[in-house]
Amino acid sequence: MTIDPMKAQDVWKDVGQHVQFTVLKLNRKDQAAERETIEEFADRYQAILRSLRIRDADGDLKAAFGFSNAAWDYLFPDAKKPKELETYETLSGPKYSMPASEGDLFFHIRAKDEAVVYEAISQFRRFLKDVTTVVDETKGFRYFEGRAIIGFIDGTEAPQIEDAADYAIIGDEDPDFINGSYAFAQKWRHNMDFWNKLKTEDQEKAVGREKFTDLELEDGEKFKNAHNVASKAEINGVEQKIVRMNVPYSDPASDNTGTYFIGYSRHWTVTKMMLKNMVEKSDYLLTFSDILSGQLYFIPSRPLLDSIAEGEL
């Protein structure tokens, strides 16, 4: 049994121009009613996407919808569970930590046209608002040249689009959940005044790459806790990869600017290893950033969403 990217949700390509991340919490007042609503929504969700792709054929709408471990246990207590699905708990290092946050349902919507993003999440909420509460809603955007808000090209170390599916989509190691994915969502807030006062040379040493060309620096030219050093994960000497679709977000009037990190992976253990390395090595990015949220979600395949809709879990 091999992966089939066409049966997966949109977890392996297309960062998008206009982006929205929404995290919802189940009200947990009536388990049977809430499960019934989610079963209906599993079908409605896919129908809404099909409709909007017809209505705006050039919008390039992409979406992913998933469940946290807590939500899976609550909604489907008698069902099997993805092998690596767990509740993310705060990771701490010598100086910094990456806190966990609550969340049951997760949406990652992106398109060329913000109106399509708006319409998608608005229609989703019509079916979910009676059984959920909004935990967080963050609008992201594509910055110049696909750069992070700190001015460096983002995603250089991510796999090429031709290879990305193999890194993002669960395979036959977990056949009941093949073509699903593990999504880790984490919201960073940056102290841009601190960052912008650094000399370009120091920024480059902090990231580990040249700012303009994006060429990687030699190891001796980087800070010991440079981002591309601290975030590297290796198993038996082989560097591990995930699919990143990070985007900037900003509300300049309130001085709230940061990065929404979203990583899709075939193995949650790989993403978790990267996060542990970052806090243990005090990744330089943490020196001017606050982590506002973080949680792991399982993104079901489209056939599994159909099974949920049919009440088969």
Please check whether residue 22 is in contact with residue 106, taking contact to mean a CB–CB distance below 8 angstroms: yes
Catalytic-residue membership of 104 = no
Which CATH architecture describes the domain 13-309? 2-Layer Sandwich (3.30)
pLDDT given at position 1: 66
Predicted pLDDT at 288 = 97
Report whether 8 contacts 264 (CB < 8 A). Answer: no
- The Cα–Cα gap between 99 and 205 comes to 26
Six token digits for residue 171: 């395979």
Q: Out of 59-68, 153-162, 199-208, 270-279, which region has the weakest mean confidence (pLDDT)?
A: 153-162
The pLDDT, as a whole number, for residue 262 is 97
Q: At what angle do helices 31-55 and 114-128 cross, to 10 degrees?
A: 160
Domain ranges of the chain: 13-309
Residue 25 CB neighbour total at 10 angstroms: 18
Which has the closest alpha carbon to 306: 86, 9, 3? 9
Predicted confidence at residue 190, as pLDDT, reads 98
Q: What's the whole-number mean pLDDT along residues 8-33?
A: 96
State the pLDDT confidence band at 162, using cuts at 50, 70 and 90: confident
Label residue 73 exposed, middle or buried (CB < 10 Å: 0-12, 13-18, 19+): middle
Catalytic residue, candidates 154, 176, 193, 219: 154
Q: Provide the pLDDT for residue 265.
A: 97
Is residue 157 over pLDDT 80? Answer: no
User: How many CB atoms lie under 10 A from the CB of residue 175?
Assistant: 9
Model confidence at 123: pLDDT above 70? yes
Return the percentage of the chain with pLDDT > 90, whole number: 93
Mean pLDDT of 294-299: 98
Which pair of structure tokens corresponds to residue 202? 């120091």
pLDDT at position 227:
96
Q: How far is CA 145 from the centre of its chain?
A: 20
pLDDT-derived band at 14, boundaries 50, 70, 90? confident
What pLDDT shows up at residue 56? 95
Residues in the chain: 313
Q: Measured in whole angstroms, how far is the alpha carbon of residue 58 from the centre of its chain? A: 24
Query: Which residue has 């708006």 as its token pair?
Result: 118
What does the pLDDT look like over 226-277, one tens digit per residue?
999 999 999 988 999 999 999 999 998 999 999 999 999 999 999 999 999 9
Q: How many CA atoms lie less than 13 Å away from 33 in the CB half-sphere?
A: 11
Q: Which residue from 114, 103, 140 is spatially nearest to 256, judged by alpha carbons? A: 140
Section 57-79 average pLDDT: 97
> 0.75 cut: is pTM over it?
yes
